Amino acid sequence: MTQPDKVQRMIDIMAKNGWRITEQRRTLAEIFVKNEGYLSPKDVYDQMTVEYPSVSFDTVYRNLRLLSEMGALEQFYFMEGGLKFRGSCTSHHHHHLICINCEKTLSFEYCPMEQTLELPGKFKIVNHRFEVYGICEECQSDK
């Protein structure tokens, strides 16, 4: 998928959720498409203020959380780096192995939810995420 297609996919998600598509929101989508890795709210804020100096950190943060709830972004919590976001990979169901050193992310197809689960009460699962944090092969070699 090309970068313009990825930007359009994110904009389509915004529009489907009733958001008015502004230039600021288009820029926000472009930031995530251009950056393959994870971005902290501060990283995004710093990039947004280049074009929109009056944008507030609260506005950027609120938009990131809402985009995550919509499925346009994925959010991850790193022990050292705190909360970070990246564009959502929506092509198929998969999970992630994430290097805590370089933040390299590998997808893997195994889904623990395919196993029989005995849940308490009548708990109904509507969504799930599964990430495994560790150290990638390259970072292990560097030490």
Q: How many helices (H) and strands (E) does the chain have?
A: 5, 5
The pLDDT value given to residue 118: 81
Answer whether 55's CB lies under 8 Å from 49's CB: yes
The pLDDT value given to residue 127: 76
Residues sharing a CB contact under 8 Å with residue 63, sequence separation 6 or more, in sequence order: 25, 28
The pLDDT value given to residue 114: 78
DSSP label at 52? -
The pLDDT value given to residue 61: 95
The pLDDT value given to residue 90: 64
Dihedral-angle region of residue 71 (phi above 0 means left; psi in -120 to 50 means alpha; beta otherwise): left
Cα angle 99, 103, 106; round to 5:
65
Which ranges of the chain have pLDDT less than 50? Answer: none
